[in-house]
Amino acid sequence: DTGVSQDPRHKITKRGQNVTFRCDPISEHNRLYWYRQTLGQGPEFLTYFQNEAQLEKSRLLSDRFSAERPKGSFSTLEIQRTEQGDSAMYLCASSSPVDGNTIYFGEGSWLTVV
């Protein structure tokens, strides 16, 4: 499978705990994105990387959220001190240098904070 891969697919955590999600983009895609989606809504942009550089962050990305892409390949999204409002699906996507406007999503990582 050469699509965008995310891990874990589901995570249940207690409020206050830290969680980390991993994303492996399509190979040779230089751009990587993180989005958040809640039930009944469209995906909302969080941040994006071009290679290893984080070029944009949404105001939705509070100080408790941090994303990295250290070698320009896979990326991690960490949420510290989780809150119930963080419960959502976290989607990773990637795009190629040829067509940066067409992005390809992974299957998402569901987070439930209890």
Chain contacts with another protein (rule: CB under 8 A): 4, 31, 33, 40-45, 48, 50, 55-56, 58, 91, 93, 100-108
Q: How far is the CB of 91 from another protein (least distance, A)?
A: 5
**CA-CA-CA-CA torsion for 78, 83, 85, 87, nearest 10 degrees?**
50
Q: How far is the CB of 79 from another protein (least distance, A)?
A: 19
Tokens 């989607």: give the residue. 91
Considering beta carbons, is residue 74 or 105 the nearer one to another protein?
Answer: 105
Q: How many Å apart are CA 98 and CA 31, to the nearest integer? A: 11
Considering beta carbons, is residue 26 or 80 the nearer one to another protein?
Answer: 26
Pairing between β-strand 88-95 and β-strand 65-68 as defined by DSSP bridges = unpaired
